[in-house]
Amino acid sequence: METGLKEKCVEVFRRIRESRPLVHHITNLVVTNDNANTMLAIGALPVMAYAEEEVEEMVAHSQALVLNIGTLTREVVRSAILAGKRANALGIPVVFDPVGAGATAFRTESARTILQEVKVAVVRGNAAEIAALLGRETRIRGVESSGEIPDSFHLAREAGKILGTTVAVTGKIDYVSDGERTTMIQNGDFLLTRVTGTGCMTTSLCGACVAVEKDALLAASAALGFLGVCAEIAASSSRGPGSFRYTLFDVMYSLTEGEFVQRLRVEVI
């Protein structure tokens, strides 16, 4: 995969624009609109359907499923499992964001239950959330990590092995690992930490990428690199979080393949 990795990441987003995959979200109500707009900006199609009565039917029409427990209820867990199992039966890839795992027992247990019940292609979270899934003590306040956990590279690789899936650990440097192969992405900007839901947007991007790319490691690496590059460009012309948020959508919509390749800093380690 290392040969031409940047070009392969660009190709993933080219296929998204060409095929316009439908990505079903059961996601964080705080940022539902931003997740939907992220999909539209890159050429994918979003659908947000939460009701137990329709999630199995809706996911059957989709090319990927995103599960996000940001605004968690028991109903969300039931819907996530129903949709996830239906997606598994149909061979539709699932991306999971364990938002706030480690903050409360309910969140941690719900995240682990979903992972036990549903086969997931990619788990995307910050270091504290991923560590919580492995039973480690974490520092997290609300749904935000309160400190960077050291050695995210080894955390991603260990989580990939233990969870049996591709794990994306986001932070100042992002790591994606399936337990054997690992990539490092060094794009991004501080303003990503000052806008609500940019992690959730990253998870949505992973959903769009796995919809068109079977190699989950490549798909997740492309997603993280894309948002990081867009954030760098958006930040260069923004005055703060407000203008950054709006500019970020414009950049996601208008980023050229040439600029993506030139700015992308991704490598296999």
- The distance of Cα 140 from the centroid of its chain, to the nearest Å, equals 19
The CATH number of domain 5-264 is 3.40.1190.20: yes
pLDDT on residue 147: 52
The H or E element containing residue 262 is helix 257-263
Consecutive 10-residue averages of pLDDT for the chain (269 residues): 86 98 96 97 98 97 98 97 98 97 95 98 96 82 52 94 97 96 97 94 98 98 98 96 96 97 96
Helix axes 32-42, 241-254, angle to 10 degrees: 30
pTM: 0.94
Q: State how far the Cα of 125 lies from the Cα of 86, in Å rounded to an integer.
A: 23
Beta-carbon contacts of residue 9 (< 8 Å; ≥ 6 apart):
218, 221, 222, 225, 226, 260, 264, 266
Q: State how far the Cα of 100 lies from the Cα of 215, in Å rounded to an integer.
A: 27
Beta-carbon contacts of residue 77 (< 8 Å; ≥ 6 apart):
69, 110, 113, 114
Tell me, what DSSP letter sits at residue 236? T
Q: State how far the Cα of 164 lies from the Cα of 38, in Å rounded to an integer.
A: 28
pLDDT on residue 104: 94
pLDDT on residue 137: 72
